[in-house]
Chain A
């Protein structure tokens, strides 16, 4: 997928939503002093979006009013407490006013003409009470369930949106997704400035949340669907191109854990860089990557190992068989192993989980084994990896990812999506020659270092990983131009 950064030039005043990632997509936030419609199905995250919009606003010095049509102030406070929002405290400080509007159709008799001036009075009084700059109406369509005169409601809602504009409050109005239209009651007709669609869909039994800016009058905006996640620090949209590219680049080298590989790289990986170890099945990816983890632990650095194929016990046993005692580092608290099946959670949940674990453990190095399990749809996983790598780089954490190249597929094809994100790329291959399988390793690319272009044979033994001499004693069939620019091959006589 193309990665583009929308050129955003705008004269429209904007209010920063404070929601991570959203302000980048919208070029600065929501239209200031105007209503924005946020629509989505049940459980799409509308209320959370609205709450975070208010809470972040308060943090930026803009008090807010939340008109809740579906839950009481207590319920709302409870529901968002797990996301780190303390609404009761904000209300006590008079920065936030939550008003629950309760309409029970069964308790109300309608006779003759009426209007919704009561709601206007309520809203106006609430705004005045806390000097609100931001207003949320969640979910205003509930009025249609409570009152029967749809004509009156439509006329009054139209008036409400005009009124909100006249009051110059930045408003978020949430609405249920309709079939065939953005909202069930066609509210998008009334809100002409900005419409945001939230989506929560399940593909292959895995759920992913997405956000799309459907419309933003008078402003350029990113038009893609952006995955977003909801974790214990709130809402965050993952703009694919949000990389500020502000991370520091360290010149310090850290050992890969394999001395000869360090030599090939001219001294090891850069600290804080991103390393990809890719290869066909059984080519030794996990072993090569795990060596790095062990070396880091030996240096006294904490490591986090995300294993998506093996359980911690299984890993410890398998690595033990090649001379690595991961259990010892785990016991000392230097190493943390986290295992999970990639299919269990959706993309966002994985990201959230990884972010949280990394924040908690504060490791110097992270290993993800393998990333391939997420790459069912490339665009998604790239967004996720970009986000993850950005985060790791900002934190100065050295990251090693392994990636499985399916036999028979082109290297470029399977890894094209992530190549641009990777600093050092090590390719492992399995070669058959004279009735035996040989493992070979080469450095496909390594940014900012003069690295070897050799294809070296290596062995995995009970003592660890041993890479062959400078010039391979064995003839390696050239994997064409795919691997390295100048594959050094001395002989082809062995190719039977």
Chain B
């Protein structure tokens, strides 16, 4: 009978570090429909927040639904602009131009729920 080898201290540490790193990677998508004042405002507001709170560990993908309309259905978009936090899980959705910074931070779970 062979007893499964217990994971060593080093490998456990490595796994924890990896998950922490994953949790720290922020993948954001901003859905807009053309270059409207609202979409431009949303992107500017989002960049400001990310630079302040998530410097160096975020990516923003802007999706223009006028270019790729099929993504509206695939990603369940109704309102624009919509910000979707794809990582870290769980997926979060924030609609609007992100002009209310506090609510945006709460929505992104960058600060705890008030």
Residue ranges of A at the interface with B (Cβ–Cβ < 8 Å): 99, 101-103, 107-122, 124-126, 143, 146-147
Contacts and interface: CB of A to CB of B under 8 A. Distances in A.
B33 A112 contact: no
B19 interface: no
A117 B42 contact: no
Contacts of B76: 101-102
B69 A122 contact: yes
A101 B107 CA distance: 21
A126 B95 CA distance: 22
A313 to B, nearest CB: 59
Contact of B92 (A107, A112, A115, A124): A107
Contacts of A99: 73
Contacts of B31: 118
Interface in B93-112: 93-100, 103-104, 106-107
B80 A117 contact: yes
Given A109-B103, A111-B107, A124 B42 contact: no
16 contacts: A109-B93, A110-B94, A111-B97, A111-B99, A111-B100, A112-B42, A113-B97, A115-B79, A118-B78, A118-B79, A119-B78, A121-B72, A122-B69, A122-B72, A143-B78, A146-B78
A114 B96 contact: yes
Given A113-B38, A116-B80, A143-B78, 20 more contacts: A103-B78, A108-B93, A108-B94, A109-B92, A111-B98, A112-B41, A112-B97, A112-B100, A113-B97, A113-B99, A114-B81, A114-B96, A115-B79, A117-B65, A118-B65, A118-B80, A119-B78, A122-B69, A124-B69, A147-B95
Contacts of A115: 38, 79-80
B21 interface: no
Nearest to B72: A122
A303 B71 CA distance: 59
A109 B73 contact: no
A109 B107 contact: yes
Contact of B79 (A102, A107, A116, A124): A116
A111 B104 contact: yes
B70 A109 contact: no
Contacts of A121: 33, 65-66, 69, 72, 77
Interface residues of B, number: 33
Contacts of A124: 69
Contacts of A101: 76, 78
A143 B104 CA distance: 21
Contacts of A103: 78
Contacts of A126: 73
Interface string B45-66: 1000000000000000000011
Contacts of B98: 111-112
A125 B81 CA distance: 18
B99 A112 contact: yes
B79 A114 contact: yes
Contacts of B94: 108-111
A117 B96 contact: no
Question: Among A103, A112, A120, A122, which residue has the most Cβ atoms of chain B within 10 A?
Answer: A112
B88 to A, nearest CB: 16
Nearest to B104: A111
A114 B37 CA distance: 11
Contacts of A147: 78-79, 95
A458 B2 CA distance: 101
A108 B45 CA distance: 18
A-B pairs, top 9 by smallest CB distance, nearest first, are A109-B107, A112-B96, A112-B99, A125-B69, A112-B97, A118-B77, A117-B33, A111-B103, A122-B72
Contacts of B38: 112-115
A291 to B, nearest CB: 65
B109 to A, nearest CB: 10
Contacts of A143: 78
Contacts of A111: 94-100, 103-104, 107
A323 to B, nearest CB: 71
